Amino acid sequence: MTQAFKGLEGLCRLLILGAFLLLSASVLLQVFARTFLATAPVWTEELTRFCLIFIGALGAGMALRSGDMVNVDLLCESLPGRAPWVLRLVSAVLTALFALILLPAAWDYTMIGSRQTAPSLGWRMDFIHASMLILFVTLALWAVMRAFEMLTGRHDGRPILASEEE
């Protein structure tokens, strides 16, 4: 199971890199066109927005995995005994539960997009709305993985430092 999650993490990182590079190229084109050309392409702003949406959707689960999500460590870690561990476990389980509960709504949202197109790019919006499916699926998977690792004793649920990832 760990190899599958490492593969998913690698895929998410690669897709985030691709979206970031596309975002950067789009912004550079927009700045160049506004500075040196008579008109600037309008589609670059829409593409930038779509890239940001996908970066957020792909990165949320990974941020949960690494502990980069916003935490209330000041409160949680000041509690006695196993209470911080229990709160981290409950948080992971609730995150997975909420993500799974929201999946049907994300599916409906994606299907609505099949009848719409992006104004300047002309892309079908279901491809863009699918980012919500990606968000909730990856968030649920990483939350379940965190809870599983905590219950099996492989991890205590605290943020993973960059030096620990390797």
Query: Tens digit of pLDDT for each residue in 96-149?
Result: 999 999 999 999 999 998 889 988 998 999 999 999 999 999 999 999 998 998
pLDDT in tens, 27-41: 999 999 999 988 889
- The amino acid sitting at 38 is A
Task: Write down the pTM of the prediction.
Answer: 0.83
Range of the domain at 25: 2-165
* pLDDT cut 90: percent of the chain above it: 52
Fill in the DSSP letter of residue 71.
-
Q: DSSP string spanning 34-70?
A: HHHSSS--THHHHHHHHHHHHHHHHHHHHHHHHT-S-
Q: In total, how many domains does the chain have?
A: 1
Average pLDDT score over the chain = 88
